[in-house]
């Protein structure tokens, strides 16, 4: 090894060979970059290299990643990694935090930054259920609501987890409609005094553009097997029979929502339907407490204390689930076609827009 670092013949030979290798690599990467620039994928190349380097640099050989207090465990047997929040890191008694952030949907291809995909939430609940070190769960809610079916799937799973482990709801900025539906499966429910919640109701919407079509001389021709098959066709007015059918669908889902709230909060269904509780309005945390829709006003730390109390202990490690990096999902995202849903972003209806699926029942406040 001395000669490789010195000025001897061996060192000279090493430098000559190494220089030729560097020239080869330089030409190879130069050609690769030039080719990528010509086909417009240089950005993807840089991103792929940076991602690979990050995984190699930040992760240990055992698959775990650490960044000071924020540790992420990439256990092969778990679908979701874990991000440390607080408490003793070495504790075997833990509280899992599951986020419901954005519009609740069953659409697995929905953008993760604006959507709460019910499948992800249900799988995280299952992971917490199977983990013997998890003694309690906190549902960290910041959502306007979403699809009726998606909300109901999460609600059902929370009830399953509660058979063996307590589940606490923490309402943040917004926890309305479908968000409250999910929260009602938890006990207790903690809300910030400024949280916007409530909106107990069901909505289904469709555009009616018949007037516009009449002005521009455009007609829609639809051929159906039955008179109700195109009842949400926006190119014509609804018939009274169609309007009654849609209303029945909405009220059926609403009755189910009322039963859920009644069972959870011990409020008679008739009182919910005949009072401001069930008229679809949004209210703040203080009003919700007065109406017995939440149990306590507080912050995330208060939800942790409630979870510790129910789990009968202290010095719990608190962590949240995070989705593991999946190169396959990343590639699918890059190659995915335009979604079949519609991105609605109108003035006063949310800054980022919401993917609305046509003809789907929603637990949402009006304006989403």
Opening angle at CA 185, ends 112 and 293, nearest 5: 105
| Residues designated as active site | 177, 229
Q: In terms of Cα–Cα distance, which of 270, 253, 259 is closest to 203?
A: 253
Question: Rounded to an integer, what distance in angstroms lies between the CA atom of residue 302 and that of residue 209?
Answer: 49
**What does the domain layout of the chain look like in residue ranges?**
2-57, 75-201+283-363
pLDDT above 90: percentage of residues in the chain:
53
Neighbours of 73 (CB within 10 A): 17
Does residue 31 sit in helix, strand or coil? helix
Task: Answer whether 30's CB lies under 8 Å from 45's CB.
Answer: no
CA atoms within 13 A on the CB side of 343: 9
The phi, psi pair for 141, rounded to 5°, reads -105, 125
Does residue 319 sit in helix, strand or coil? strand
Q: In terms of Cα–Cα distance, which of 322, 319, 305 is closest to 90?
A: 319
Q: Please list the ranges in the chain whose pLDDT falls under 50.
A: 1-22, 56-58, 60-76, 332, 335-353
What is the gyration radius of the CA atoms in the chain, in angstroms?
27
* Residue 305, Cβ density class (10 Å: 0-12 exposed, 13-18 middle, ≥19 buried): middle
Structure tokens at 213: 């079509």
pLDDT (tens digit per residue) in 122-145: 999 999 999 999 999 999 999 999
70-73 vs 80-86, strand pairing mode? antiparallel
Please provide the average confidence, as pLDDT, over all residues in the chain.
80
Residue 308, C-beta contacts closer than 8 angstroms, at least 6 positions apart: 95, 136, 314, 316
In our burial notation (b when 16+ CB lie closer than 10 A, e otherwise), range 269-298 reads eeebeeeebbebebbbbebbbebebbbebb
Q: Which residue has the tokens 């010509």?
A: 38
Can you identify the CATH homologous superfamily of domain 75-201+283-363? Answer: 2-enoyl-CoA Hydratase; Chain A, domain 1 (3.90.226.10)
pLDDT of residue 232: 84
DSSP secondary structure string, 56-83? Answer: HHHB-TTS-EEETTEEEE--TT-SEEEE
Q: In terms of Cα–Cα distance, which of 136, 203, 210 is closest to 170?
A: 136
- Whole-structure pTM value: 0.72
pLDDT (tens digit per residue) in 17-56: 444 444 555 555 555 555 555 555 555 556 665 665 555 4
Q: In terms of Cα–Cα distance, which of 111, 121, 162, 164 is closest to 141?
A: 121
Query: What's the length of the chain?
Result: 368
Q: How far is CA 7 from CA 18, 20, 176, 257, in A?
A: 15, 18, 75, 82
The phi, psi pair for 236, rounded to 5°, reads -145, 165
The phi, psi pair for 271, rounded to 5°, reads -70, -40
């Amino acid at each position: 090894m001395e000669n490789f670092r010195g000025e001897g013949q061996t060192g000279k030979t090493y430098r000559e060979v190494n220089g030729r290798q560097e020239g080869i690599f330089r030409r190879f990467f130069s050609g690769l970059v030039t080719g990528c620039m010509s086909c417009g994928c240089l950005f993807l190349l840089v991103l792929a290299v940076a991602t690979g380097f990050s995984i190699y640099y930040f992760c240990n050989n055992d698959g775990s990643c650490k960044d000071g207090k924020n540790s992420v465990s990439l256990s092969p047997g778990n679908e979701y990694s874990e991000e440390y929040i607080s408490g003793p890191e070495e504790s075997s008694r833990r509280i899992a935090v599951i986020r419901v952030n954005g519009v609740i949907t069953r659409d697995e291809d929905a953008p993760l930054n604006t959507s709460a995909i019910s499948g992800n939430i249900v799988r995280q609940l299952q992971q917490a259920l199977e983990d013997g070190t998890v003694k309690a769960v906190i549902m960290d809610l910041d959502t306007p609501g979403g699809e009726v079916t998606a909300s109901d799937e999460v609600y059902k799973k929370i009830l399953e987890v509660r058979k063996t482990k307590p589940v606490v709801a923490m309402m943040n900025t917004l926890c309305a409609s479908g968000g409250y539906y999910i929260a009602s499966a938890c006990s207790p429910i903690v809300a910030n005094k400024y949280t916007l919640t409530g909106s107990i109701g069901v909505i289904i919407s469709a555009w009616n553009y018949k007037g516009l079509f009449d002005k521009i001389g455009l007609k829609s021709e639809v051929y159906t097997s039955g008179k109700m098959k195109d009842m949400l066709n926006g190119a014509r007015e609804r018939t009274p029979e169609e309007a009654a059918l849609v209303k029945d669908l909405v009220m059926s889902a609403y009755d189910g929502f009322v039963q859920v709230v009644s069972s959870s909060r011990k409020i008679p269904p008739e009182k919910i339907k005949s009072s401001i509780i069930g008229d679809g309005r949004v209210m703040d945390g203080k009003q919700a407490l007065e109406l017995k829709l939440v149990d306590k006003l507080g912050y995330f730390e208060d939800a942790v204390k409630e979870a510790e109390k129910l789990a009968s202990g202290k010095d719990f490690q608190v962590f949240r689930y995070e989705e593991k990096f999946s190169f396959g999902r990343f590639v699918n995202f890059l190659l995915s076609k335009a979604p079949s849903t519609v991105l609605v972003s109108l003035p006063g209806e949310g800054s980022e827009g919401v993917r609305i699926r046509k003809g789907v029942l929603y637990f949402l406040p009006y304006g989403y």
